[in-house]
């Protein structure tokens, strides 16, 4: 009898441990996924975003409020980096509600920061400043002296600078960044101090580029020089390379200018960060116009138009969200302000429809010529030995390199570039001419590509590559 009781007791203990250890295991696995998503967010913002909604749902099931706020803040950051202000205002208000419910100072402040960004984009600078003052006031109430709060305050100063920049007051923006740089004396660890100032010098450089390119160039290089090893703050490097590109363009050193602009675009393409990308497109378009390379100029002009239309639609949507928010705050005060909002929306909508119809008409007219024009543009870049050839090719065929690497991960970059020439259906003689090598060398490269990609001898290599 006692033995049976013991067995029953042991069974209950085992069953109890099985039930209560499972949630703990699930929570640990979830924490690991959130941590992995944070790392992915730095290297590939688009892939990281795809995971966010699922992780947010899990955080709510597990009642993990801290992870929920952390993930909602990442969602805000994604929309900010992608210039999607319509989605940003919705996600920032979600973060505000959740952080207020859990009384979390840091995330409550960050919600105000992102709301300020949406107002600033819509040129409502006074409203933006109100929310930034709210954010700073919330952070000032925290007396824990934690690093997180310190960096949050620094971030608010950076956003203040952005608002002043949007207002056309770059000198006031510089004052805010200099105030942030001065606060760095609180950081005792040298590596952390260098990382903090690396970001600040990059921001300062971007602001100076509005009115003093020599100072901008100096701080961009200073930012690059003190960048600690292992830090992958890609947004700042995009800014640094863009400023350096502008500096060399002013000096008419077009080769160096194009090289730095393409470095910025390459990071943007790899990470998915598209903040201020139109400035880079416009600079490249103007350089190519100045140097008589019309094909390249036309390519970037089309990129600008596509991006403008995308931004215009996003701004229109955000105006609706902002308008709804103001209506709630003002409790049915439908006065002259409502009329202004309505007119603004009608103007934006009319412009959106105009650009949309114009682009659609252009697509219909040029439908049969697009492919020919694209190949002509790429070959023109190749003939001119333009360093932007591979960037333009990968932009036109974004999955080409990945598909080749799936077949053979050991392919070298030079071999992928050779496959790009085959994709353009260039003959052996043309490849030899454009790449300054012997025809026999081209034939040998074709043979090696066949071997590495396991293309049967009975299959035409051009047709095989064309299907990639």
Q: In which band, very low, low, confident or very high, does the pLDDT at 3 lie, cut at 50, 70 and 90?
A: very low
Q: Would you state the pLDDT for residue 368?
A: 45
135-144, 152-161, 330-339, 411-420: least confident range: 330-339
Q: Would you state the pLDDT for residue 372?
A: 72
Q: Are residues 370 and 466 in the same domain?
A: yes
Q: What percent of the chain has pLDDT over 70?
A: 82
User: Rounded to an integer, what distance in angstroms lies between the CA atom of residue 249 and that of residue 246?
Assistant: 5
- Are 37 and 51 spatial neighbours (Cβ–Cβ below 8 Å)? yes
Q: In which band, very low, low, confident or very high, does the pLDDT at 336 lie, cut at 50, 70 and 90?
A: low
Range of the domain at 300: 293-323+343-363
From residue 405, give the alpha-carbon distance in Å to each of 51, 269, 411, 417, 421.
24, 18, 6, 12, 16
User: Rounded to an integer, what distance in angstroms lies between the CA atom of residue 114 and that of residue 184?
Assistant: 23
Q: Would you state the pLDDT for residue 214?
A: 96
Q: Are residues 372 and 348 in the same domain?
A: no
Q: Are residues 348 and 359 in the same domain?
A: yes
Q: Does any domain span residue 49? A: no
Over range 154-176, report the average pLDDT.
Answer: 91
Q: Are residues 463 and 434 in the same domain?
A: yes
7 pLDDT above the threshold of 50: no
Mean pLDDT of the chain: 84
Structural domain tally of the chain? 2
Q: Would you state the pLDDT for residue 468?
A: 83
Q: Are residues 352 and 373 in the same domain?
A: no
Q: Are residues 350 and 372 in the same domain?
A: no
Cβ burial of 371 (10 Å; 0-12, 13-18, 19+) is exposed
Q: In which band, very low, low, confident or very high, does the pLDDT at 277 lie, cut at 50, 70 and 90?
A: confident
* Helices 45-61, 65-81: crossing angle, 10 deg rounding: 150
- Are 112 and 135 spatial neighbours (Cβ–Cβ below 8 Å)? yes
Q: Does any domain span residue 464? A: yes
- Are 98 and 80 spatial neighbours (Cβ–Cβ below 8 Å)? no
User: Rounded to an integer, what distance in angstroms lies between the CA atom of residue 427 and that of residue 422?
Assistant: 8
Q: In which band, very low, low, confident or very high, does the pLDDT at 371 lie, cut at 50, 70 and 90?
A: low
The token pair at 419 is: 């496959």
Over range 359-368, report the average pLDDT.
Answer: 52
Q: Are residues 352 and 401 in the same domain?
A: no
- Are 183 and 200 spatial neighbours (Cβ–Cβ below 8 Å)? no
Q: Does any domain span residue 407? A: yes
Q: Are residues 354 and 449 in the same domain?
A: no
Q: What is the pLDDT of residues 38-95, one digit of tens each?
A: 999 988 888 999 999 999 999 999 999 999 999 999 999 998 888 788 889 899 999 9
85: closest CA among 276, 321, 309? 321
Q: Would you state the pLDDT for residue 364?
A: 45
Q: Are residues 450 and 355 in the same domain?
A: no
Q: Would you state the pLDDT for residue 15?
A: 44
Higher pLDDT, 351 or 156: 156
Q: Does any domain span residue 54? A: no
In degrees and rounded to multiples of 5, residue 359 shows phi and psi of: -65, -40
- Are 72 and 108 spatial neighbours (Cβ–Cβ below 8 Å)? no
User: Rounded to an integer, what distance in angstroms lies between the CA atom of residue 119 and that of residue 89?
Assistant: 9
- pTM exceeding the 0.75 threshold for the entire prediction: no
1-15, 32-46, 231-245, 384-398: least confident range: 1-15
Q: Are residues 377 and 358 in the same domain?
A: no
Q: Does any domain span residue 386? A: yes
Over range 263-271, report the average pLDDT.
Answer: 87
User: Rounded to an integer, what distance in angstroms lies between the CA atom of residue 421 and that of residue 415?
Assistant: 10
- Are 422 and 461 spatial neighbours (Cβ–Cβ below 8 Å)? yes
- Are 132 and 109 spatial neighbours (Cβ–Cβ below 8 Å)? no
Q: Does any domain span residue 25? A: no
- Are 81 and 235 spatial neighbours (Cβ–Cβ below 8 Å)? yes
Q: What is the pLDDT of residues 231-259, one digit of tens each?
A: 776 789 999 999 999 999 999 999 999 99
Q: Does any domain span residue 45? A: no
Q: Are residues 357 and 370 in the same domain?
A: no
67: closest CA among 24, 30, 105, 108? 30
35 pLDDT above the threshold of 50: yes
Q: Would you state the pLDDT for residue 329?
A: 56
Q: In which band, very low, low, confident or very high, does the pLDDT at 343 lie, cut at 50, 70 and 90?
A: low
Q: Would you state the pLDDT for residue 363?
A: 52
DSSP 127-164: HHHHHHHHHHHHHHT--S--HHHHHHHHHHHHHHHHHH
380 pLDDT above the threshold of 60: yes
Q: Per residue in 372-400, is it b (16+ CB within 10 Å) or e — as a string?
A: eebeebbbbbbeeebebbbbbbbebeeeb
User: Rounded to an integer, what distance in angstroms lies between the CA atom of residue 83 and that of residue 314?
Assistant: 8
Q: Are residues 359 and 403 in the same domain?
A: no
Q: What is the pLDDT of residues 423-457, one digit of tens each?
A: 999 999 999 998 889 999 999 999 999 999 999 98
Q: Would you state the pLDDT for residue 305?
A: 84
Q: Does any domain span residue 423? A: yes
Q: Would you state the pLDDT for residue 450?
A: 92
The four Cα atoms 415, 418, 419, 421 give a dihedral, to 10 degrees, of 170
CATH code of the domain covering residue 377 = 1.10.10
Q: In which band, very low, low, confident or very high, does the pLDDT at 220 lie, cut at 50, 70 and 90?
A: very high
Q: What is the pLDDT of residues 101-139, one digit of tens each?
A: 999 999 999 999 999 988 888 888 999 999 999 999 999
Q: In which band, very low, low, confident or very high, does the pLDDT at 315 lie, cut at 50, 70 and 90?
A: low
């Amino acid at each position: 009898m006692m033995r049976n009781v013991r067995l029953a007791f042991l069974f209950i203990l085992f069953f109890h441990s099985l039930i209560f250890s499972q949630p703990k295991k699930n929570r640990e696995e979830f924490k690991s996924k959130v941590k992995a998503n944070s790392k992915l967010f730095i290297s590939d913002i688009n892939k990281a975003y795809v995971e966010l909604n699922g992780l947010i749902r899990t955080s709510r099931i597990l009642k993990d409020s801290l992870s929920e706020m952390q993930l909602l803040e990442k969602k805000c950051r994604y929309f900010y980096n992608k210039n999607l202000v319509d989605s940003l205002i919705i996600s920032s208000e979600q973060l505000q509600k959740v952080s207020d419910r859990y009384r979390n100072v840091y995330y409550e402040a960050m919600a105000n920061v992102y709301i300020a960004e949406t107002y600033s984009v819509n040129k409502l600078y006074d409203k933006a400043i109100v929310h930034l003052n709210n954010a700073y006031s919330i952070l000032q109430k925290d007396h824990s002296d934690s690093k997180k709060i310190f960096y949050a305050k620094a971030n608010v100063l950076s956003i203040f600078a952005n608002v002043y920049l949007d207002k056309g007051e770059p000198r006031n923006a510089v004052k805010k960044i200099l105030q942030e740089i001065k606060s760095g004396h609180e950081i005792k660890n040298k590596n952390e101090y260098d990382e903090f100032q690396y970001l600040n010098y990059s921001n300062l450089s971007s602001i100076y580029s509005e009115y003093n390119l020599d100072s901008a160039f100096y701080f961009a290089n200073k930012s690059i020089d003190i960048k600690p090893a292992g830090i992958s703050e890609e947004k700042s490097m995009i800014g640094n390379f863009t400023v350096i590109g502008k500096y060399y363009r002013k000096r008419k050193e077009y080769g160096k200018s194009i090289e730095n602009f393409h470095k910025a675009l390459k990071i943007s393409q790899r990470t998915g960060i598209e903040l201020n990308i139109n400035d880079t497109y416009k600079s490249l378009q103007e350089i190519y116009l100045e140097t008589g390379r019309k094909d390249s100029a036309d390519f970037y002009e089309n990129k600008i138009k596509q991006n403008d239309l995308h931004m215009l639609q996003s701004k229109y949507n955000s105006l609706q969200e902002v308008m709804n928010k103001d209506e709630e705050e003002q409790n049915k005060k439908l006065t002259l302000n409502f009329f202004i909002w309505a007119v603004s929306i009608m103007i934006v909508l009319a412009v959106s429809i105009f650009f949309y119809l114009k682009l659609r008409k252009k697509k219909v007219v040029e439908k049969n010529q697009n492919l020919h024009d694209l190949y002509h543009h790429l070959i023109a870049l190749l003939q001119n030995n333009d360093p932007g050839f591979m960037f333009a090719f990968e932009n036109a065929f974004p999955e080409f390199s990945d598909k080749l690497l799936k077949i053979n991960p050991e392919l070298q970059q030079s071999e992928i570039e050779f496959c790009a020439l085959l994709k353009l259906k260039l003959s052996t003689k043309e490849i030899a001419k454009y790449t300054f090598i012997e025809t026999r060398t081209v034939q040998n490269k074709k043979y090696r590509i066949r071997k590495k990609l396991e293309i049967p001898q009975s299959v035409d290599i051009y047709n095989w590559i064309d299907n990639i």
